[in-house]
Amino acid sequence: MKHASLLRAASLMAAALLPASLFVAGCKVGPNYVRPSVPTPPAFKEQPPAPDKAAQDSAAHDPSAQNQDGWKPVQPADTASKGDWWAAFNDAQLNQLETQVDTANQTLKAAESNFQAARAQIGYARSYEAPTIGVSPTVAALRDSAHEPYSTIVNDGEGNFNMPFDLNYEVDLWGRIRRGVTAAREQAQAQDADIESVRLSLHAELAMDYYGLRTDDAQTRLLEDTVKAYQQALQLTQDRFEGGAAPKSDVAQAQTQLDQAKVQLTDIEVQRTQYEHAIAVLIGKAPAEFTLAPIPINQQAPVIPNIPAVLPAELLERRPDIAGTERRMAAANEQIGIAQAAFYPTLSLSALLGLQGTSALNWFNWPSRFWAVGPTFSETLFDAGRRKSTKRMTEAQYDATVANYRQTTLTAFQQVEDNLAALRVLAHEADQQHQATEAAEQSLDLFQTRYEGGVDTYLQVVTWQTAALNNQRNDLTIMQRRLEASILLIKALGGGWDTSKLPKM
């Protein structure tokens, strides 16, 4: 009972000290955080490309594509995308792969663990807002020396039984502790933004690898068809040579064309395999455990999603990397205040109470109680410039975060402009390439017919076989670049994320 009453006394003493600390604590030294300005143009120089005709036709025949929860033409009250942005590409297999990133990717799990550690740091910083209470009971036998100088009392082997409770509390006079809590909270928010940056990058990388693989599948089909055509052409030249209608050189040229096409077909396999391995790792699987069946991309109607119009000022709220940099900048500002508080005296409240006896029989008696309580002021009078140097260091670190914030913002503007320009130019280039491919195929048909009629040499056929194949492959390459530019633009616009999703904590 006596022991319990002492614990209650300690709790009451702590409760009595807290209101006093709240009365004293109230001001914070150091600068208040204000987000620095960044050079922000009123609008992007490049504008989103016109809606892709293939995507419009696909949406017209698929009502679900018009209402899918993805990127779409901007409405007056809706300037951000909703949901999983990759769904706008209308590819079921891509959707299925993307969903595995959030649950299995190890890079993302590492980022999430870093966030949990930063979140725990908030609790650690908050612990300084409350007093620390401890107990250190000791039991020892004590015998004083009979020859101890200046001693008239000899303790002949009596016991020493102590049970002291101590309480220590630093009054946050200048806001050092409160700024520490705020800084920890802002660092945790920055880590949460880092998770979203990693997540966005991983999803974008997966989409790009996926379309790289599907483009290789299309290249493979094209080259397989080309090898068959070249085998037929080789057979034709051999028949003509055996019939005396063509020289031996025609057979050699046809054989060379066939062999070169086979080499290109084999070379595609290396790149496709690398894409497949990269996708496996992104979804948390060993490459040996993952296989993606070949499905050539639809060259005639690739789904290039419509990108919403976004103002540069809106980009500051949509990019998780910008948000993370801004939160670190705010935390660095708090460190200046913490360094400034070191120039002022600290006030600590401490209390000590407990029981002390000479034996176990009188240890818990009421007369064995003892206590002490009182405040302590402390001030550093000389530290050879340590505090001043610390403050200068925090100010320089804050200036560095401001520069990083502004640079991150400028880089974001550049990425948006780059990919808007790429989409605009590539759309025009795709039209030009389609025309060039059609012309090359028509020329090949013409010279093939003229060769069979004995009008032209086989060199003309070889020349236009090469031209037709190069243009057909370039068609596929431009299509892949358009898809990649769309993915990179969505990534540059934040993928539908905004700062309202940062945890409050």
| pLDDT value at residue 2 | 44
| pLDDT value at residue 300 | 52
| pLDDT value at residue 132 | 92
117 within domain boundaries: no
Measuring CA to CA, which residue among 486, 501, 504 is closest to residue 91? 486
Span 80-85, mean pLDDT? 60
| pLDDT value at residue 469 | 96
Same domain, 26 and 40: no
pLDDT mean across residues, the chain:
85
CB 271 within 8 A of CB 214: no
| pLDDT value at residue 371 | 87
Tens of pLDDT, residues 397-423: 999 999 999 999 999 999 999 999 999
Q: Is 388 helix (H, G, I), strand (E, B) or coil?
A: helix
Q: Regarding predicted confidence, which is higher, 78 or 317? A: 317
Integer Rg of the chain from CA: 38
250 within domain boundaries: yes
127 within domain boundaries: no
Same domain, 373 and 392: no
Alpha helices in 81-175 (DSSP H): 92-104, 106-126
In the chain, how many domains are there? 2
Percent pLDDT > 70 in the chain is: 84
Same domain, 144 and 215: no
Same domain, 263 and 142: no
Q: For residues 51 and 486, give the distance between their C-alpha atoms in angstroms, rounded to a whole number.
A: 12
Same domain, 261 and 396: yes
Span 175-197, mean pLDDT? 95
Same domain, 4 and 39: no
339 within domain boundaries: yes
Same domain, 208 and 301: yes
Measuring CA to CA, which residue among 121, 35, 32 is closest to residue 325? 35
Tens of pLDDT, residues 432-468: 999 999 999 999 999 999 998 888 889 999 999 999 9
What is the value of pTM for the model shown? 0.84
Work out whether strand 369-378 and strand 158-171 pair parallel, antiparallel, or are unpaired: unpaired
Asked which of 8-12, 72-76, 444-448 is least confident by mean pLDDT, the reply is 72-76
At residue 76 the predicted structure's pLDDT band, cuts being 50, 70 and 90, is very low
Assess whether pLDDT exceeds 70 at residue 55. Answer: no
Asked which of 68-72, 91-95, 370-374 is least confident by mean pLDDT, the reply is 68-72
Alpha helices in 127-175 (DSSP H): none
Same domain, 361 and 338: no
109 within domain boundaries: no
At residue 10 the predicted structure's pLDDT band, cuts being 50, 70 and 90, is very low
Q: The CATH number of the domain where 145 resides is what?
A: 2.20.200.10
Q: For residues 129 and 184, give the distance between their C-alpha atoms in angstroms, rounded to a whole number.
A: 14
Assess whether pLDDT exceeds 80 at residue 140. Answer: no
Same domain, 94 and 139: no
Q: For residues 276 and 279, give the distance between their C-alpha atoms in angstroms, rounded to a whole number.
A: 5
Q: For residues 140 and 160, give the distance between their C-alpha atoms in angstroms, rounded to a whole number.
A: 5
Burial 430-454 (b: 16+ CB within 10 A, else e): beebeebbeebbeebeebbeebeee
Assess whether pLDDT exceeds 50 at residue 1. Answer: no
The structure tokens listed for 46 are 């490049």
| pLDDT value at residue 144 | 62
Same domain, 183 and 265: yes
Span 175-194, mean pLDDT? 95
Tens of pLDDT, residues 97-132: 999 999 999 999 999 999 999 999 999 999 999 999
| pLDDT value at residue 19 | 52
Same domain, 246 and 354: no
Assess whether pLDDT exceeds 50 at residue 298. Answer: yes
Q: Is 74 helix (H, G, I), strand (E, B) or coil?
A: coil
Domain residue limits at 332: 31-104+172-344+379-501
Same domain, 60 and 201: yes
118 within domain boundaries: no
Q: Regarding predicted confidence, which is higher, 150 or 207? A: 207
Q: The CATH number of the domain where 309 resides is what?
A: 1.20.1600.10
The secondary structure of 485-497 as a DSSP string is: HHHHHHHHTTTT-
Assess whether pLDDT exceeds 50 at residue 43. Answer: yes
At residue 50 the predicted structure's pLDDT band, cuts being 50, 70 and 90, is low
| pLDDT value at residue 150 | 62
111 within domain boundaries: no
CB 495 within 8 A of CB 202: no
317 within domain boundaries: yes
CB 135 within 8 A of CB 334: no
| pLDDT value at residue 147 | 63
